[in-house]
Amino acid sequence: MHRSRVFAVIIDVPREAQDEAAAFWSGALGQPARRNPAEPQFTGLGEAIPGIVTALQSVDDTGRYHVDIETDDVDAEVRRLLELGATEVSQWLECHVLRAPGGHLLCVIPVHSDREVFDAGARVWP
């Protein structure tokens, strides 16, 4: 048995458009854009979606959206999603990048939210 929940909606933007995209999405969503010095590829957009982290990520690719699913058992969650039809694209540290049927990317990551938030919102899987 393990648990998981949607942790974040990530707006992937080409690296060269990061500042312009941050200004646009900050204005569009009414949230301040905050870059994390420890992870400069990410720009946070506060609580644009209540209860879900919303951020931009600069990538060496085209713009797109993806979700991050946090879990207390990364291997079990990856297996569950693969059984549902996802395919594994890559792995970076503890982050597994998968492609869902239809082509959308998603990341499976260890729990990042506060434990209370995770415990309150996570679904239990056999």
Q: Write the CATH number for 116.
A: 3.10.180.10
Q: What pTM was computed for the model?
A: 0.91
Domain count, the chain: 1
Q: Which domain holds residue 119?
A: 2-125
Strands 39-44 and 53-59: antiparallel
| Confidence (pLDDT) at 47 | 83
| Confidence (pLDDT) at 36 | 86
Q: Which of 31, 85, 25, 32 is nearest to 56 (CA)?
A: 25
User: Could you give the CA distance from residue 45 to residue 22 in angstroms, rounded to a whole number?
Assistant: 8
Q: Which of 67, 60, 47 is nearest to 13 (CA)?
A: 60
| Confidence (pLDDT) at 97 | 97
Residues of the chain predicted below pLDDT 50: none
